Amino acid sequence: MPFAIYTHDSWSVVKVASFKTLGEAQQVFSAVCCDPWYQQDGGVKGVELVQNAEDGASQRLDWFAFR
């Protein structure tokens, strides 16, 4: 699947989900950015939306940092 959402914290990067379409990925990305659990957790530093290429390369399409 060419699109994925990852969360970042002080220790690692965690894959949240993969999607076939950019539209689906953007909807979930927006939901994660607004989710109270992620906002209040304190350990999760950010979330990113990436596009994965077949050759293993990836490109960041969007990023959100929690405060």
Give Cα 51 distance to the centre of its chain.
Answer: 10
Interatomic CA distance for residues 6 and 20, integer angstroms: 15
**pLDDT number for residue 57:** 84
For residue 32, how many other CB atoms are within 10 A of its CB?
20
- At 27 the pLDDT is 96
User: What is the side-by-side order of every strand in the sheet holding 13-19?
Assistant: 13-19, 3-9, 44-52, 58-65
CA 47 – CA 5 distance, rounded (Å): 7
> What residues contact 39, with CB distance under 8 A and at least 6 apart?
66
pLDDT for the residue numbered 54: 80
3 band by pLDDT with thresholds 50, 70 and 90: very high
Greater confidence (58 vs 1) lies with 58
Q: What does the pLDDT look like over 7-54, one tens digit per residue?
A: 998 889 999 999 999 999 999 999 999 988 888 877 888 999 999 988
